[in-house]
Amino acid sequence: MDRFVFLTLDGLSRGSVYAASALALVLIWRAARIVNFAQGAMAVAAAYVAHSVTSATGSYWLGFLAAVVAGLLLGALVDVAVMRLVDHRSPLNPVIVALGLVLLIQAVLGMVYGNEYRPAETPFRRTALSVGGVAVLSPFDLFVFATIAVVVVGLAWIFTRTAVGLRMRAAAFAPEVSRLLGVNVGGMLTLGWALASGVGALAAMLVVPTELGLHPHAMDLVFVSAFTAAVVGGLDSPPGAVVGGLLVGLLLSYVSGYVGSDLTPLAVLALLLAVLLVRPAGLFAPVAARQV
């Protein structure tokens, strides 16, 4: 029972990070109808920026801030310099371009920092506190929960309560009409990319210390998990992405705790396939009429 409680809490902690990553994917999907396959690599790049800043200044928080800012800038840059120029008539083109970015970013990181694991700093201890003799959460897990909660609430606030959020939703929902009404559709798109990439960078800062460490490929499996989470929630739904992320986190935690940690990638693949084959629109999508 103790083990179950521990695995559940650990799963929720990992899951909240997947939720943030999935949320970033959903943001771009809603805005541009692109699944950003480069998101993992972009997030790792931001985490490396944080690593550099932290080792230069000695302050974790400056590094954390730098990662988020780097994420925002990188997202805007990718949209303006690359994705804007891609022919979007075929859905394969943006995917292929994003994969080219993955190769490029990982190679540049490998050239600058080397292809070895670097230890990632944490602001809080990662040893679990025990409540009544049961190991529950580490201070770092609490930090993860708090950060993700702030991000989710913040995004929800931006999109539902602010004028910019309204414009972004309008630009995504009906670009032509929004343009006629004076919305800077391109700018909103860039803002969406920046926001999503910033959230992705934040998620990388939170997940990298719990894995093997900083490495150009550190987010490969995390990205697959995040994509699965986004698909479980239905790519179109932000609340679905959050719930999907938590579900994926729990599943992975149980599988690695009860079956073996080697099997977690297989579990992700099985879940992804199962959801796509049984309910391709995700668990939270309304039942759609047949599309032709």
Partner 1 sequence: MSATRAAAPPASRRPTAGVRPAGGPRGSTLLRHLAVVAVAALLLVAVSYGLEPFRNFQLATVAAYLCATAGLTVLTGLNGQLSLGHGALMAVGAYTVALSQNAFADRGVTGQWVLPISLGAALLTTVAVGAVIGVAAARLRGPYLAGVTLAVAVVVPALTVTFDGVFKGEQGLPVPVEPPPAALGPYFPYERWQLWVAGAATLLVLLLLGNLVRSRFGRTFRAVRDDEVAARLAGIHVARTQVLAFVVSAAGAGLGGALLGVLAQSVSPGAFSLTLSLFLLMAVVIGGLGRLAGAVWGAVLLVVLPDLTHTVSDLVTLPPAVAQRLEGNLPLAIFGITLVVVMIAAPGGVQGLLSRLGRALLARWRPRRT
Of 7-15, 104-112, 155-163, 201-209, which part binds partner 1 (CB under 8 A)? 104-112
* Nearest residue (CB) to partner 1, 134 versus 285: 285
263 binds partner 1 (CB under 8 A): yes
CB of 47 to partner 1, least distance (A): 18
Between CA 271 and CA 282 the distance in angstroms is 12
Decide if residue 280 touches partner 1 (CB under 8 A). yes
Map the footprint of partner 1 across residues 184-243, applying CB under 8 A: 217, 220-221, 224, 227-228, 231, 235
Quote the least distance from Cβ 218 to partner 1, whole Å: 13
Confirm or reject binding of residue 80 to partner 1 (CB under 8 A).
no
35 binds partner 1 (CB under 8 A): yes
Nearest to 222 by CA among 206, 235, 237: 206
290 binds partner 1 (CB under 8 A): no
SS (H, E, C) 5-39: HHHHHHHHHHHHHHHHHHHHHHHHHHHHCCCCCCH
Report the alpha-carbon distance of residue 46 to residue 240 in Å, rounded: 26
Per CB under 8 A, the list member of 16, 106, 147, 253 interacting with partner 1 is 106
**Distance of alpha carbon 8 from alpha carbon 77, whole angstroms:** 38
In 3D space, the residue among 196, 188, 154 whose CA is nearest the CA of residue 42 turns out to be: 196
226, 245 contact by CB (below 8 A): yes
Nearer to partner 1, 5 or 96 (CB): 96
Q: What's the min distance (Å) between Cβ of 283 and partner 1?
A: 15
Tell me which amino acid residue 109 is: L
Alpha helices, H only, the chain: 2-32, 39-57, 60-81, 92-113, 139-161, 163-173, 175-180, 185-207, 220-232, 238-254, 264-278
Residues at the contact surface with partner 1, assessed by CB under 8 A = 29, 34-35, 37, 82, 85-87, 89-93, 95-97, 99-108, 110-111, 114-115, 217, 220-221, 224, 227-228, 231, 235, 260, 262-263, 265-266, 268-269, 272-273, 276-277, 280, 291-292
